[in-house]
Chain A
């Protein structure tokens, strides 16, 4: 299987082609530095993303608290994660880094607050 992708490790944005070989390893072409293949293989085997979003917060200056997944989660599970995160309600005060949801989707990754919000 062949796949074209743009490398995002640095601003150059190399257009790379990744091909899975029969032995399960990958052939990467089009990269101009060695960080390219590493990124490409990760994208092929287990692409992950940090998901930044918001949750409902009560008794704060604002009605929404910004949060993020503490680690990148599998790309394919982003919408499942959003469905769970959208049900979270927290009470002010909250501090940056406070866990608002533990063990998201059983991934062992928490959702944490990305700002401090005092009681209002």
Chain B
């Protein structure tokens, strides 16, 4: 059997993309999930704060996941659990996905379209190379979250957290509620990488200090963590000698960034964007490989799951259009990150595939106050996004209407942080 769309990953992106593809007319849709259930990382994110944009109410992660899983069941979309994708290769117009699981063994699944929704993984202590010993008791925040929330085990009593990403902040509160003592959250940058709401509700509420411009310079303890040395850092983010402070603890949690998981994507030969570590995508999240789409954290790391779901709807639509032969393959516009902007998604736009507008997702490189983001084509500002404050932690959503874009035959759209014109 040849599937219409196979979705690699049953997390929030995969669920929403599958549902949309089906609703738009794709008949044979299949979701492949490597874990024991659908829902992805949401199942261990038991805190609230999900769904304000999508459902207009504040849900926990499992509740948000369940709504999407229920939709998959109602739409009758089949899925395979505990199923690992080994690779994906192009075979004529088809994509062949090699997968294994315990029940079906080794399978080569053929599909006309594929949506990549593998999500992301956490940066590790190995990747950031913290000097010192390599004892037990160093966890990424997500690993600790799984142990505590799903398996019901604590991973320590006296805790220091490095990195103020949202998972780190959430885990500071979570471990406190379960009886641990969180001594501090250290953040290398002079600003937090987490949402303001999480700093207030997860740290301030529990008097957990957030130590900005500080990092861990040594992990103590041969067998189990016995403490960490922290130090202030200078403007070049190097530890300042003489500012070291020893904090005794038995556990170090890391929340130092997320990396899109694109091993399958790279091996398949899909064009990548080094700025996002995700694939280069178009307005409907089409990649450089015809019939292959990507959405969610595998494309770029989102801050809110609601935006993942929105992006997944685009990919689902795109896959359905591709199946009907209606997906325009032009590249009318390309996007570029100018001063102050780290990346822009999508990187390409085909205007014929756009209904009313294109929302460009981007991140600023540092905290900006009283500035604007301008979108240029050539020397002309075609649109402006105003916020009181732009934070690296909060993705900028910059909507530009089709009418504005239609005024230009093609070109490069450059996004720049600039002074607001008085």
Q: Is B388 an interface residue (CB 8 A)?
A: yes
How many Å lie between the Cα of A85 and that of B82 in the bound state? 32
Q: Is B402 an interface residue (CB 8 A)?
A: no
A63 touching B152 by the CB < 8 A rule? yes
B152 touching A66 by the CB < 8 A rule? no
How many Å lie between the Cα of A82 and that of B178 in the bound state? 8
B46 touching A56 by the CB < 8 A rule? no
A62 touching B66 by the CB < 8 A rule? no
Q: Is B54 an interface residue (CB 8 A)?
A: no
Residues of B within 8 A of A11 (CB): 195-196, 389, 391, 394
Pick from B36, B59, B196, B391: contact of A6, CB under 8 Å? B196
B204 touching A6 by the CB < 8 A rule? yes
Q: How large is the interface on A (under 10, 10 to 19, 20 to 34, 35 or more residues)?
A: 20 to 34
B177 touching A6 by the CB < 8 A rule? no
Q: Is B273 an interface residue (CB 8 A)?
A: no
Q: Is A29 an interface residue (CB 8 A)?
A: no
Given contacts A8-B201, A82-B177, A116-B66, contact A13 B196 (CB under 8 A): yes
A52 touching B199 by the CB < 8 A rule? no
**Which of B60, B151, B394 has the most chain A CB atoms inside 10 A of its CB?**
B60
Chain A contacts with B in 27-65, Cβ cutoff 8 A: 32, 49-54, 56, 61-64
Given contacts A61-B36, A66-B46, A115-B43, contact A50 B150 (CB under 8 A): no
A75 touching B151 by the CB < 8 A rule? no
* Nearest CB of chain A from residue B390's CB, rounded to whole Å: 10
**Which of A6, A13, A63, A96 has the most chain B CB atoms inside 10 A of its CB?**
A13
Kindly report which residue of chain A lies nearest to residue B204, judged by CB atoms: A6
Interface flags for A57-80 (1: CB within 8 Å of B; 0: not) read: 000011110101000000100110
Residues of A within 8 A of B150 (CB): 62, 64
Q: Is B91 an interface residue (CB 8 A)?
A: no
Pick from B48, B152, B394: contact of A54, CB under 8 Å? B152
Pick from B36, B151, B197: contact of A8, CB under 8 Å? B197
A96 touching B151 by the CB < 8 A rule? no
A68 touching B48 by the CB < 8 A rule? yes
A56 touching B389 by the CB < 8 A rule? no
How many Å lie between the Cα of A116 and that of B73 in the bound state? 14
Contact surface of A with B, Cβ cutoff 8 Å: 5-6, 8, 11-13, 32, 49-54, 56, 61-64, 66, 68, 75, 78-79, 82, 96, 114-116
Q: List 23 A-B contacts (CB under 8 A).
A: A6-B196, A6-B199, A6-B204, A8-B196, A11-B196, A11-B389, A11-B394, A13-B389, A52-B46, A53-B177, A53-B178, A61-B37, A64-B149, A64-B151, A66-B62, A68-B46, A82-B178, A96-B63, A96-B66, A114-B59, A114-B62, A114-B63, A116-B66
